[in-house]
Amino acid sequence: MASRALRATVLVGLAGVLATGCGEGGGTGASGKPSEAVSGVSSPAVSGDPVSDKGLFAEKVRAAVDKRVGADEEKFGSGDRSPCSTSSSLVLTSTCGAAADATAVDAELALREINGSHGFATLDAVARKLVTSVRSYRDLGCATGPTAADTREACLVPAATIAQGFSDLHDGTVLGLSGK
């Protein structure tokens, strides 16, 4: 629920930035008419404009990662609806293991897409944390229904991170649009 609120807040803020434009003098051109950013008519980006190039790259990353994340989130669920949720009866089964594998693939895709580029700190941190959590989940043998109490308990930490992984990756792509 909190991730959806964050998503909504980021999208509203981003919409405001897009609607008002950057450096457009309050949304009107020299003639006093609404600027292109306000009127919805846009001109092509100036070639070599680093802001435009960064924006296009961020949108490319968002589109590629969100396409994959969206499909996996629809298949496995996210948060409390994930088989890896600590409250799920499937948290220590191969069903969560499959969701963990999909989460790792999505996180690795995000890392490949951003390829060390600046402006994706959140997405980079989220993806790296997910790769580490999936590795821990696998190394502990969590998907095989461990019987030792200490192992079962240790599995809950990476499982909780994995359960939130699809939402966190999506949020990271959205924040990447604003260089965060």
pTM of the model: 0.70
Each residue's pLDDT tens digit, 2-16: 444 444 444 444 444
Closest CA to 162 of 63, 95, 64: 95
Each residue's pLDDT tens digit, 91-104: 999 999 999 999 99
Closest CA to 6 of 170, 177, 179, 120: 170
Each residue's pLDDT tens digit, 25-75: 444 444 444 433 333 333 344 455 555 688 889 999 999 999 999 999 999
CA torsion, ordered 151, 152, 156, 157, to nearest 10 deg? -10
The confidence score (pLDDT) of residue 118 equals 87
% the chain with pLDDT above 70: 71
Each residue's pLDDT tens digit, 102-154: 999 999 999 999 998 888 999 999 999 999 999 999 999 999 999 999 999 99
